Each structure stands twice: as C-alpha cells, then as structure tokens.
C-alpha cells in the first residue's frame, strides 16, 4: 500500500441527481493525506450529498471515487474500514450512556474487550467527557453531544474522517473547542474532509478550500489564494494634511480619494511587490504617510464574487480572533 | 468480512444494544404489555359473562377466558412488534443507523439485532400475559407436544410481524408515524376469531375474518393450548401466512435499508 504517496481522497466527475434535481454536477477534487480539506457552500450546494457518497451512504450516478486507496464502487467495505463519519446530526444512541456508546463502537470494530475499555476511557478523557461518561446523551449540551459523536467516530482509528458541518448550531465557545479537537486530529496524521457554510471556519481550519455552489466547484485553493482571486483588495493610506493627500494622489494616478478623512484607496492584489511599488512612488514624491493598512478581501467577498450571491449569515462573528 | 464469525458477532453486539435499550426505557415495554393485559382483564371480567353465554348453552366466563387467551397472545405479539417499529424509526431519525451504515460491519446485524431483541422481549411478554391469564383461571390442557407446537407457531408468527414492523419503522419518516402504522395489527384479532367466533359475524365481514392472517394463527393456537383437534387446513394457512409475511417483511426491510430510507 502506497497510501502515503497517493491522495487520501480523489474524486472525478462525480454526479448525482434526485429525480429532476441535479445535486452534484461533475465534481472533481483531490485531498492530500494528513490535510484538512474544506467544502464550503451554502445550504443546498451539495455538501452533504458529497459526504454521503464518499462515506458509502449513497451511490453516485456517475464518477469515480477513491478513498484511502480503495475504489468506492468496487470495495465499499474497505473504504468503510478506513473512514469515520461525524454527520450533521449527532449520531449517538440516546438511551445508552456516553461510555456505553463508545463501547458499542469498540465492539463493532471488533476490539478486544480490555482494549475497547482502554480506548473508551482514553477518548472520554481526551474530549473532557469523563465526568458525564455514565450519563445518557439526552442530558448533554449540544457541544458535548458533538464531542461524543466525534469520539465515537475515532474509536476505530480512521485514517480519513468526514465532518459534515461539525459546528452548526453550536455556541461560539463550543465551536472553539470543536476547532481545537479538529486541529488536534490532523496533528495525528488524519485526513479530514470538512463541510461548512461558515467562511470563518474554513479559513481557520482548512489547508485547502473548495467552494461548492449548485453542485459545481466554482473555485479551489488555499484561503489566501481564494482571497486573491477576487477584486476588492486595497491599500488604505492616510495623510497628515490635504497637501500630502494631493501629492500622493497625483503620484499614484488618482486613486479613490476621501477628502474628509484624508485617505486614499489604492487597488492591489495584496502581493509584496505591489505594496513595494506603491511605497516607492510615495517615497519618490517625498510624501509623508500617516498610516497604512492592507485590506484583503475576506472569504465573504470571495463567495459573493464567485457565486453572485452571499452565503448564510455568519453567526460566529463574535468568535473571530 | 473475512470470516463467518463476524456477522454473528456483530448481531450479538446489536442484540446486546437492543436489550440494554429495553432495560433503559422500561416504560415502553410496560406500555406495550399493558395493552394486551388490559384487553384480557376487560374482556374476561367485563364482557366475559355475556360473551361466554354466546359460545354455547353451557358457556360462561371461564369458557370465554379459554376462548380469548389465544387472541390476547397474538395481540401481545403485535403490540411488542409495534415497539420494534418505534425503535427502528428512532435509529433512523437519530442518525445512528446512518453511522452503522458507514461502518465495516455486517449490514444484516443492524436489523437482526432489533429482530432478535424483539423475539426475547416477546417471549418475556407472552410469559407475563400467560401468567396473568393463569391467575385469572386459565387452565391450558396441552401436552408437551402441544406446547412445543404452539411455541413454534408463536415464534414463527413473531418473526413475521417483527420483520414487517422493521420495514414499517424504516419506511416511516418519523417516530410518531412508526408508532401509528402497525397499530392496525393490534386491531386485526378483533376482525377475526380473537374475541368472538367468526360465524357470528355478517357474511361480508366473515369472508375477511376467516382468511386474514390472525384467524388461522389464533384458531390453531387455541386448538393446541386446549388440546382439541387441530384443523389441518387452518394450521397450514397459519404457517403459510406467517412464512409469507416474514419473507415479504424481510425482503422489504432489507431493500429499504440498502436504499438508505434512513435519510
């Protein structure tokens, strides 16, 4: 097995329709081992359908999928042995206690009894659930349920994990904790496919982001690459007085001028070269600059410009770092 | 699956889960068993005197008790099966069934765990209901062979209704629907030979009552428990219906499970 050199997930030409509704319209993507790949898109973009296909719950209409080196169509059981899935709805047994849920997973993974117990205790500890291990999830908070769900996913030591909107509906603090748990997973060499409708989440966690809209990938890259794709990046320069403003405006070819606040907005792609060029010109004209800020577009701008419509409202702004 | 032992091991794991859930949620079991016991007491002590007189010139409450117990037993089977539909629908709506389906476990074990659990729950339920009947004065006169045959028929009938309920649980979009759909099963003994002889019914109803699945099962059980001669045609119909429902329920449930009706 050369699993370390081949992609953890590779998808080509994935299509799926439900009746007349086309949900996935030819999706291609490659996820390198040990990385976090985020599928970003609004509700109805096809994120959950993609996860359901990749995790063997749904059969695609067309396309080929390899997960952890196994062909999904030919050897679904081998794929299942390699993956773990934490869905949008906490898939826990509400009548069993937290520990019993984990032991159930251990039994289904055919771990030896003592090994199952050890694994369950270790995961309870790691997810800070030891104190409520003997209680049923019905008494848990939303964040605790998600953590138990993720812990159950980890019992089988999967090499590829699918997280479908893992923080939807969580309060900002639980979301932070969940993010830490997710980062911790890649530190252990696990590959993660994460879907989210929160731009900030993708920005915070993902090595690469693919923007999914109406069943198609409209862009793919790192968060920085995506931000550079869209116009709207600019330098904001403020000057001590109107004379400086006028001089600078002349030197920079009359950019957008705000007389009242004595500032200029200079379009830029955000690269160091562009910044240096602007500074050189100002230097040449001997203009004093009071303040300089670089405004790069955030993923909201990216999404808007790529798809022509905004994402879901961002409720996690207060959690921004 | 590389060895044959794993599907069996997964089924045992799922069975353990099922039984643990029943212990954790005893009110459901009590509710499921309450219904047949309530019917038994109601029909014996309230209606039994009058209905017994209708059974024959010498009939009374004791005769009616002997008459009604087989029908009550089939209601018990149907009632516990209803609980299965509810648990299966809970699994499907809570997403844990989707989790099982993404794991490299025996696919069959997810459903067989429920079916095996229900069989045990039904066995316990039938013993409890029979004990209440005996306390009320029921004195079966079956010999060992009769008991074994009766037990065999009840198991087959339970397997049939349980697989049907698993399918009904899977096809339901909510737990509420799942608890209503199989309700009709607990009513069928009334539209058969469970509470009154079918020859007392109007002709149009009798046609249905005589041939619907519960009637031959109830008639055969009654003959076996009371030690009266078993009607061969009725017994064959009882086994035939049970086998047909079991097979249809199993095939339906399996196809629903594979299609992923569980969202």
How many independent structural domains does chain A possess? 2
Measured distance CA(B6)–CA(B245) in Å, rounded: 28
pLDDT of residue A169: 82
Cβ <8 Å between A77 and B104: yes
- Provide the pLDDT for residue A318: 35
Which chain A residues have a beta carbon less than 8 Å from that of B104? Answer: 77-78, 80-81
The residues facing A15 across adjacent strands are A25, A62
Q: How far apart are CA A157 and CA A111, in angstroms?
A: 11
Of A208, A228, A248, the last residue of a domain is A228
Q: Write a three-state SS string for chain A.
A: CCCCCCCCEEEEEEEEEECCEEEEEEEEEEECCCCEEEEECCCCCCHHHHHHHHCCCCCCCEEEEEECCEECCCCHHHHHHHEEEECCCCCCCCCCCHHHHHHHHHHHCCCCHHHHHHHHHHHHHHCCCHHHCCCCHHHCCHHHHHHHHHHHHHCCCCCEEEEECCCCCCCHHHHHHHHHHHHHHHHCCCEEEEEECCHHHHHHHCCEEEEEECCEEEEEECHHHHHHHCCCCEEEEECCCHHHHHHHHHHCCCCEEECCCCEEEEECCCCHHHHHHHHHHHHHCCCCCCEEEEECCCHHHHHHHHHCCCCCCCCCHHHCC
The domain spanning residue A241 has which CATH number?
A: 3.30.70
- Give dist(CA A188, CA A181) in Å, integer: 11
A90, A29: one domain: yes
Q: Are residues A109 and A195 in the same domain?
A: yes
Average pLDDT of every residue of chain A: 86
Residue A317 counted as domain residue: no
Each of the 263 residues of chain B gets a pLDDT tens digit; together they read: 445 567 889 999 999 999 999 999 888 889 899 999 999 999 999 998 888 888 888 878 889 999 999 999 999 999 999 889 999 999 988 889 989 999 999 888 999 999 999 999 999 999 999 999 999 999 998 899 999 999 999 999 999 999 999 999 999 888 888 888 777 888 899 999 999 999 889 999 999 999 999 999 999 999 999 989 989 999 999 999 999 999 999 999 999 988 764 33
Q: Is the dihedral of CA A130, A133, A139, A144 positive or negative?
A: positive
Q: What are the distances in angstroms from CA B107 to CA A43, A89, B137? A: 31, 21, 46
- Please check whether residue A55 lies inside any domain of the structure: yes
How far apart, in whole angstroms, are the C-alpha atoms of residue A321 and residue B22? 47
> Nearest residue on chain A to B17, judged by CA atoms?
A104
Q: Encode pLDDT of A203-217 as tens digits.
A: 889 999 999 988 999
Q: With cut-offs at 50, 70 and 90, classify the pLDDT of residue A30.
A: very high
Q: How confident is the model over A2-31, as a mean pLDDT?
A: 87
- Cβ within 8 Å, pair A91-B94: yes
At A105, the pLDDT band (50, 70, 90 cuts) reads very high
For the stretch A151-182, pLDDT in tens is 999 999 999 999 999 888 888 888 898 899 89
Q: Which of A56, A85, A108 sits opposite B105 (nearest CB)?
A: A108
For residue B119, the SS3 value is helix
Whether residue A113 is found in the same domain as residue A224: yes
Nearest Cβ partner for B102 among A57, A94, A104 = A57
Q: Are residues A211 and A244 in the same domain?
A: no
Q: What is the pLDDT of residue A303?
A: 72
CB contact under 8 A, B20 and A58: no
CA B253 from chain centre, in angstroms, equals 17
B259 to chain A, any CB pair closer than 8 A? The answer is no
Structural domain contains residue A305: no
What is the average pLDDT across A250-257? 80
CATH number, domain of A89, equals 3.40.50.300
* Domain match, A92 and A241 both: no
Closest CA to B170 of B45, B74, B260: B260
Same domain assignment for residues A114 and A185: yes
Q: Which domain holds residue A267?
A: 232-295
Whether A72 and A213 share a structural domain: yes
**Domain match, A29 and A170 both:** yes
Task: Residue A83: list chain B partners with CB under 8 A.
Answer: 102
The reply to whether A2 falls in a domain is: no
Does B102 contact A55 at a Cβ distance shorter than 8 Å?
Answer: yes
Of the candidates A175, A210, A205, A180, the one whose C-alpha atom is nearest the C-alpha of residue A192 is: A205
Per-residue pLDDT at A42: 81
Contact B103 A57 (CB under 8 A): no
Using an 8 Å CB-CB cutoff, list chain A residues near B87: none
Q: Where among A228, A255, A282 does a domain terminate?
A: A228
With CA atoms as reference, report the closest residue to B89 among B114, B109, B107.
B114
Do the Cβ atoms of A57 and B99 come within 8 Å? no
Largest CA distance in chain B: 66
Contacts with A, B 3-32, CB within 8 Å: 6, 9-10, 13, 16-17, 20-21, 24-25
Residue contacts between A and B (CB atoms, under 8 Å): 62
Average pLDDT over residues A51-68: 93
Say if A1 falls within a structural domain.
no
Whether ipTM exceeds 0.90: no
- Burial (CB count within 10 angstroms: exposed 0-12, middle 13-18, buried 19+), residue B86: buried
Which residues of A fall within a CB distance of 8 Å from B101? 56-57
A45 pLDDT higher than 80: yes
Instruction: Say if residue A137 is in the same domain as residue A176.
Output: yes
CB within 8 Å: A57 and B25: no
Q: What is the pLDDT of residue A312?
A: 46
**Within this chain, do residues A245 and A184 fall inside the same structural domain, yes or no?**
no
Same domain membership, residue A220 and residue A243:
no
Does residue A59 sit in the same domain as residue A133?
yes
pLDDT of residue B94: 86
């Amino acid at each position: 097995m050369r699993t370390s050199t081949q992609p953890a997930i590779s998808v080509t030409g994935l299509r799926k329709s439900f009746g007349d509704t086309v949900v996935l319209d030819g999706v291609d993507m490659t996820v390198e081992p040990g990385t976090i790949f985020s599928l970003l898109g609004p509700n109805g973009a096809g994120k959950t359908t993609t996860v359901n296909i990749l995790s063997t719950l749904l059969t695609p209409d067309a396309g080929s999928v390899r997960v952890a080196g196994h062909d999904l169509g030919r050897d679904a059981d081998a794929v299942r042995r390699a993956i773990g899935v934490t869905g949008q709805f906490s898939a826990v047994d509400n009548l069993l206690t937290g520990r019993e849920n984990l032991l159930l997973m251990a039994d289904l993974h055919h771990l030896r009894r003592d090994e199952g117990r050890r694994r369950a205790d270790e995961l309870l500890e790691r997810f800070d659930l030891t104190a409520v291990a003997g209680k049923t999830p019905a008494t848990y908070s939303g964040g605790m349920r998600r953590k138990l769900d993720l812990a159950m996913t980890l019992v089988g030591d999967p090499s590829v994990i699918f997280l479908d909107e893992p923080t939807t509906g969580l309060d900002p603090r639980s979301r932070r904790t969940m993010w830490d748990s997710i980062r911790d997973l890649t530190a252990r060499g696990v590959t993660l496919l994460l879907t989210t409708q929160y731009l900030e989440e993708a920005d915070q966690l993902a090595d690469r982001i693919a923007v999914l809209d109406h069943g198609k990938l409209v862009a793919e890259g790192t968060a920085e690459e995506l931000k550079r794709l869209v116009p709207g990046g600019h330098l904001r320069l403020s000057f001590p007085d109107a004379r400086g403003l006028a001089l600078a405006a002349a030197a920079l070819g009359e950019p957008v001028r705000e007389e009242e606040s004595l500032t200029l907005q200079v379009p830029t792609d955000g690269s160091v070269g562009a910044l240096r060029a602007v500074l050189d010109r100002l230097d040449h004209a001997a203009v004093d600059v009071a303040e300089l800020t670089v405004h790069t577009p955030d993923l909201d701008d990216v999404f808007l410009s790529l798809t022509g419509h905004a994402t879901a409202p961002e409720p996690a702004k207060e959690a921004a770092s | 699956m590389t060895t044959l032992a794993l599907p069996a091991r997964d089924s045992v794991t799922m069975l353990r889960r099922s039984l643990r859930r029943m212990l954790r949620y005893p009110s459901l079991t009590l509710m499921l068993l309450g219904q047949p016991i309530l019917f038994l007491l109601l029909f014996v002590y309230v209606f039994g005197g009058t209905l017994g007189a209708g059974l024959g010139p010498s009939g009374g409450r004791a005769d009616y008790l002997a008459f009604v117990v087989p029908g009550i037993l089939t209601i018990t089977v149907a009632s516990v099966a209803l609980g299965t539909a509810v648990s299966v629908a809970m699994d499907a709506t809570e997403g844990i069934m989707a989790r099982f389906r993404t794991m490299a476990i025996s696919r069959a074990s997810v459903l067989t765990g429920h079916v095996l659990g229900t069989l045990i729950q039904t066995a316990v339920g039938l013993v409890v209901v029979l004990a209440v009947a005996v306390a009320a004065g029921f004195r079966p006169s079956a010999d060992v062979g009769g008991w074994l045959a009766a037990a065999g028929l009840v198991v087959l009938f339970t397997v049939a209704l349980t697989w049907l309920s698993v399918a009904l649980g899977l096809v339901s979009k909510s737990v509420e629907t799942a608890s209503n759909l199989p309700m009709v099963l607990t009513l069928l003994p009334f539209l058969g030979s469970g509470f009154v002889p079918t020859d007392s019914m109007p002709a149009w109803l009798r046609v249905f009552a005589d041939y619907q699945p519960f009637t031959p099962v109830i008639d055969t059980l009654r003959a076996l428990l009371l030690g009266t001669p078993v009607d061969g045609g009725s017994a064959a119909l009882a086994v035939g219906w049970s086998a047909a429902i079991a097979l249809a329920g199993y095939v339906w449930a399996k196809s629903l499970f594979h299609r992923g009706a569980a969202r």
